[in-house]
Amino acid sequence: MAARPGRWLWTCRIGFEPHLYEELAWAGAEPRVLGEALVESEGKQGLVLAFARQSFRVLASFPGAAPELAPAMAQAVAALPASAPIVLQAFTPDTPRGNALAAEADALRETVRGLLPANRLLEDTDRARETGAQLVSLCVAPGAVTVGVVPAREALSLAPGGRRRMKRAGESPSRAAMKLEEALDGLPFEPGRGDVCVDLGAAPGGWTQRLVSRGAKVIAVDPARLMPELASNPRVRHVQESAFAFAPEEPVDWLFCDMAWRPLEVAQLLAKWGRRGWASHLVANIKLPMNDKNPILLRVRHTLTEDGGWKGLTVRQLYHDRDEVTVTAHRR
Ligand SMILES: C[S@@+](CC[C@H](N)C(=O)[O-])C[C@H]1O[C@@H](n2cnc3c(N)ncnc32)[C@H](O)[C@@H]1O
């Protein structure tokens, strides 16, 4: 099914279309599932949804990625106001059938790029927000290419299709560590030298290890064992007990939480930390193994903000998240 021009196209993790659909329906945005990992809707200014990885306003749809369609695609892009530079990206839905089109998507992007005036293109994606660029995406799905645009400053992600891969060449970090890296990447500042962090549900220690490598001191709370190299690290204190029994001796800078536990109970625990002013910043991964995820998320949000006083709450299923979402917030 092709996305209709003027509507918005959203992409999500495969299997999460019903949850994204429900969020859009709750917002009155008249959603329609187009296929695996793709949902379209009416435009709603400023909509930030937990289960969306990327979204854009649809400019045009095409029946495939054949090179002869590229001039019409370039024409749709060139018709955008010339006042802002263009960052041109291509992505496929993150599904087995979509990923098989990755090479075709790259080739199409290069062809369309070659048809656009070079002086309208911005190559450095990292500068997209500061330059007020427009993020133009070619979404190459089985049987349909959708061309769309979103101002980079409003984009959910600057990574094509919202796939923010945190693995660097030559590294083999745990998935848990990559979840943390991706969460920190979205924050305006990060824990650093001298900061005190509490890590609830810390074992085996992927998050703790990343925090220590940034120069932070970590109180790692988990009944399970930490990796030996962390257990003997002078900047790590392992408190081998339940997070529900733990209280810090004094307020800390950051509260991290990746506990494998029931989301509403975890939210109540994080709310207690907020109410008591025990931490200034929060990064937590909330597990959502149940089918009906949105009603639980609504209660989690309410608990953190109304009961816990956490501010600036973000709730997003990050690229490295599976049946879970990552929340960030601060106290002031
Ligand atoms: C997904 S793992 C955490 C992985 C960790 N972030 C890392 O990077 O290695 C979940 C952890 O939650 C811990 N956990 C579950 N219930 C807990 C509780 N009540 N208090 C503290 N930790 C708990 C488990 O022991 C387990 O180690």
- Ligand 1, closest atom to CA 242? 20
Atom of ligand 1 nearest to the CA of 256: 6
Candidates 157, 147, 156; CA nearest to 111 is: 147
Q: How confident is the model at residue 168 (pLDDT cuts 50, 70, 90)?
A: low
270 Cα: distance to centroid of ligand 1 (angstroms): 15
- Residue range 257-283: average pLDDT? 98
Q: Return the exposure string of 207-243: e unless at least 16 CB atoms fall within 10 Å of the residue's CB, then b.
A: bbbbbbeeebbbbbbbeeebeeebeebeebebbeeeb
Question: pLDDT per residue over 132-160, tens digit each?
Answer: 999 999 999 999 999 999 999 999 999 99
**pLDDT at position 112, please?**
98
- pLDDT band, very low/low/confident/very high, at 170 (cuts 50, 70, 90): low
* CB distance 246 to ligand 1 below 6 Å: no
Whether 287 is catalytic is yes
Res 172: pLDDT: 60
Name all domains of the chain by residue range, CATH numbers in brackets.
Answer: 8-162 (3.30.2130.30), 175-330 (3.40.50.150)
- Is there an atom of ligand 1 within 6 Å of 286 CB? no
Convert the pLDDT of each residue in 55-110 to its tens digit. Answer: 999 999 999 999 999 999 999 999 999 999 999 999 999 999 999 999 999 999 99
Over residues 29-46, the pLDDT tens digits come to 999 999 999 999 998 777
Structure-token pair, residue 138: 């070619």
Ligand 1 lined by 176 (C-beta under 6 Å): yes
Cα distance between residue 70 and residue 47, in whole Å: 31
In this model, does residue 166 exceed pLDDT 80? Answer: no
Q: What whole-number distance in Å separates Cα of residue 23 and Cα of residue 42? A: 13
The pLDDT tens digits for 288-320 are 999 999 999 999 999 999 999 999 999 999 999
Ligand 1 nearest atom to the CA of residue 204, by list position: 9
pLDDT digits (tens, 9 = 90+) for 12-30: 999 999 999 999 999 999 9
260-289 mean pLDDT: 98
Pocket test for ligand 1, best of 212, 222, 273 (most atoms within 8 A of CB): 222
Quote the pLDDT of residue 171.
66
| Per-residue confidence (pLDDT) for residue 16, from 0 to 100 | 98
pLDDT in tens, 185-240: 889 889 999 999 999 999 999 999 999 999 999 999 999 999 999 989 999 999 99
Nearest-CA residue for atom 25 of ligand 1: 224
Nearest-CA residue for ligand 1 atom 7 is 206
Q: What is the pLDDT of residue 173?
A: 67
**201 CB less than 6 Å from ligand 1?**
yes
Q: Sheet of 217-221: strands edge to edge? A: 236-239, 217-221, 196-200, 252-257, 279-287, 324-330, 311-316
Nearest CA to ligand 1 atom 5: 202
Measuring CA to CA, how many Å separate 280 from each of 40, 134, 193, 197? Answer: 37, 34, 16, 10
> Using a 6 Å cutoff on CB, does residue 181 contact ligand 1?
no
Question: What angle in degrees, to the nearest 10, is found between the helix axes of 102-115 and 70-78?
Answer: 60
> With a 6 A CB cut-off, is 205 part of the ligand 1 pocket?
yes
